[in-house]
Amino acid sequence: MKNRLTPAACLPEDAEQALLVGRVWSPELDGPTTVLVRRGGLYDLSSVAATSSQLFNLSDPATAIRQAGTLPRLGFLDDVLGNSAWDARDNRVPWFLAPCDLQAIKASGVTFVASLLERVIEEQARGNPSKAEAVRRTIVSIIGDNLSGLTSNSTQKSKTRALARVYIWEPNLS
């Protein structure tokens, strides 16, 4: 089957005029990072915002990106797109991730906090069940094992944000 993940197939027609951002797994960084997407390459936006949610919570994300100066290239767009198909991945090369990370994604029938924590666990464990269990134990030690007790008050939100920061910045949990 021919790879459909090509710049021509994935970028909008006005890509040259657009300010496109995404998220990739960077083997070099051993974790996810935000990227500026250009036809010629992907550029690390972590100096602007470490997560998509941080980027989109800036008062003017577009200006922040434009004023960032020279950004390190993480790879060529063609290579990263070609490496993003689940059945053709080389773990030594960056690949695209879903653009959402810590922002609120709500769906019918899904408990928000549980969903957020499971996304964090899944991203950290990368398919390793023992690592997932270690991450869960760490979370339980911080917020307890009863998620029904988590409310929208500022103390609970602070705990959840602190967890998110820990797992974004410390991807190699033992």
| pLDDT tens readout for residues 46-93 | 999 988 888 888 899 999 999 998 999 999 998 999 888 878 789 898
Structure token pair of residue 160: 């959840």
> Percent of the chain beyond pLDDT 70?
74
- What is this structure's pTM? 0.59
Q: What count of other Cβ atoms lies within 10 Å of the Cβ of residue 54? A: 20
Average pLDDT over the chain, rounded to an integer: 77
Q: What count of other Cβ atoms lies within 10 Å of the Cβ of residue 143? A: 18
Looking at residue 170, what is its pLDDT? 36
Looking at residue 132, what is its pLDDT? 84
